[in-house]
A and B are shown apart, each in its own frame.
Chain A
Amino acid sequence: MGVTCVTQVPLAEGKSVQQTVEILTRKLEQLGAEKQGTFYVDCETYHTAGTNVGTTAQSGKLLYIMHCSEHPLSTFALFENGPCLVADQNLDVLMIKLKGFFQNAKANKMETRGTRYQFCDFLIKIGTVTMGQSGRGISVEVDYCPCAVPGDCWNLMVEFMQSFMGNHAPTVPPVFNSKHDALYSPADTMMQYMELLNKIRKHQQGTVTGMRL
């Protein structure tokens, strides 16, 4: 894994989630990208159960537990602005033990699933974001494999993304800024997914109706 950028693509005018995904994947295939199976990223939200005595600082803070197909044996745990812990899957077991302190907001479980493409040194994952049963949006992940320093390859990545996303290509992800010259890590990708999924959830909770699939 190299440097990864995760972003959202808005629905094409008058199209459904499914149709917009098709438009994107067709463009990728026209470029010469090859289909390489599927991928998933899921994210569960935990909140502190009740108020913890003497530790007001962390009450109300949300803890996210994530998994992804790129690192199938790992579990990622992160806070919105805090550190991201990479652990093995026994962390899921620990969360069950911790249920008196952290409660799983089951209704808030989100995931994105879709197809994984390879195009030369790039990995592209186009996913449908779902919460409950309904599709909520489209995630696009672009991974530039040969490089580990975000600052060194961002321009190249933008250029590539413009080639199939047009003017929906994103601006620099915030995680890049903090580690412009530092090495990129899988935790940074999960951070981006968490932010993206949160954004979609908050947006959805604003509007009442779901989207057509």
Chain B
Amino acid sequence: MEAPPVTTMPVSGGTINMMEYLLQGSILDQGLESLLHRLRGLCDNMEPETFADHESVYLLKGQQASPFVLRARRPLDRPGAPWHLRYLGQPEAGDRSRHTLVRNCVDIATSEVLPEFLQEMGFRMDHEFVAKGHLFRKGAMKVAVYKVFRVLVAGTADGAEPLSLSYLVELSVVAPAGQDSVADEVRSFAEQLRPLVQLEKIDPKRLM
């Protein structure tokens, strides 16, 4: 067996200060086909991609007022694929001149011991859901159209039941901080999906 070559890479890496530019909306079940059709026309040519993920949201409580939140996603439809660990910062809606919600984000691919590891770090699971739907891309832009399912038996995705009669639609780009021009791109793409879906910057805190 041939030994792999030695590489000389920097010791620690990762991309610091990535921002997610996000718009959200929803589409009723009966409108789904039209939306998918439209997206197939607008997005990059590629095989239609579907996904089924199980997301668990973990909290780490410390002396700070607010707990540290991490999201762990496991693909249900691709056994053996890595888990996706995600940190999301506080969303900033900004003023009218800003076209999307902006939040800091860290995306990490990890091995499947993630839940045990998070427990060991002191994280406790807060809630979970299953997301099943379709994924489209246009350049760096990602369009996810998915149904959110309520998990009935903790830890398992089997038998999860749909939360509503709509699909959540998320239009997002992850880019280094300061590239606010991508927000305009996201906005103009969102315009092309009207009036099927109304994509807006929604600050979830305002809805609670």
Residues of A within 8 A of B (CB): 1-2, 36-40, 42, 48-55, 57-58, 61, 63, 67, 69-70, 72-73, 75, 77, 79, 82-94, 96-98, 100-102, 116, 118, 121, 123, 145-146, 187
- Given that A85-B113, A86-B110, A145-B1 are known contacts, is A101 also in contact with B68, CB under 8 Å in the complex? yes
- Given that A50-B62, A100-B68 are known contacts, is A89 also in contact with B14, CB under 8 Å in the complex? yes
B208 interface hit (Cβ, 8 Å) = no
A58 touches B120 (CB 8 A): yes
- Which of B101-109, B141-149, B175-183 sits within the interface? B101-109
B117 touches A97 (CB 8 A): no
- Which of B4-12, B47-55, B152-160, B190-198 sits within the interface? B4-12
13 further contact pairs, Cβ within 8 A, besides A53-B63, A77-B117, A118-B3: A36-B6, A67-B11, A69-B7, A73-B13, A82-B117, A83-B116, A85-B110, A87-B109, A87-B110, A89-B13, A93-B106, A98-B60, A116-B6
CB-CB nearest in chain B for A117: B3
- Given that A55-B61, A58-B121, A145-B3 are known contacts, is A69 also in contact with B8, CB under 8 Å in the complex? yes
Roughly how many angstroms separate A51 CA and B108 CA in the complex, as a whole number?
A: 27
B45 interface hit (Cβ, 8 Å) = no
Chain A interface, >50% SS class: mixed
Query: Which interface residue of A61, A79, A100, A101 has the most chain B CB atoms within 10 A?
Result: A101
Chain A residue contacts of B9, Cβ below 8 A: 69, 72-73
Roughly how many angstroms separate A97 CA and B87 CA in the complex, as a whole number?
A: 9
Roughly how many angstroms separate A206 CA and B5 CA in the complex, as a whole number?
A: 38
Contacts between the two chains (Cβ within 8 Å), count: 120
Pairs of residues from A and B, 4 with the lowest C-beta to C-beta distance, nearest first: A72-B9, A37-B6, A89-B13, A89-B14
B61 touches A54 (CB 8 A): yes
A85 touches B62 (CB 8 A): no
8 A Cβ contacts from B72-95 to A: 85, 87
Roughly how many angstroms separate A82 CA and B123 CA in the complex, as a whole number?
A: 14
- Given that A69-B9, A83-B117 are known contacts, is A58 also in contact with B122, CB under 8 Å in the complex? yes
A90 touches B6 (CB 8 A): no
Of the residues A49, A67, A87, A121, contact of B108 by C-beta under 8 Å: A87
A39 touches B62 (CB 8 A): no
- Given that A69-B8, A100-B68, A145-B1 are known contacts, is A90 also in contact with B121, CB under 8 Å in the complex? no
A88 touches B120 (CB 8 A): no
Roughly how many angstroms separate A118 CA and B159 CA in the complex, as a whole number?
A: 52
B1 touches A121 (CB 8 A): yes
Roughly how many angstroms separate A199 CA and B14 CA in the complex, as a whole number?
A: 29
Of the residues B6, B61, B68, contact of A98 by C-beta under 8 Å: B68
Kindly provide the distance from the CB of A66 to the nearest chain B CB, expressed in whole angstroms: 10
Roughly how many angstroms separate A125 CA and B108 CA in the complex, as a whole number?
A: 29
CB-CB nearest in chain A for B70: A94
CB-CB nearest in chain A for B107: A90
A92 touches B14 (CB 8 A): yes
Chain A residue contacts of B32, Cβ below 8 A: none
- Given that A58-B120, A101-B68 are known contacts, is A91 also in contact with B63, CB under 8 Å in the complex? no
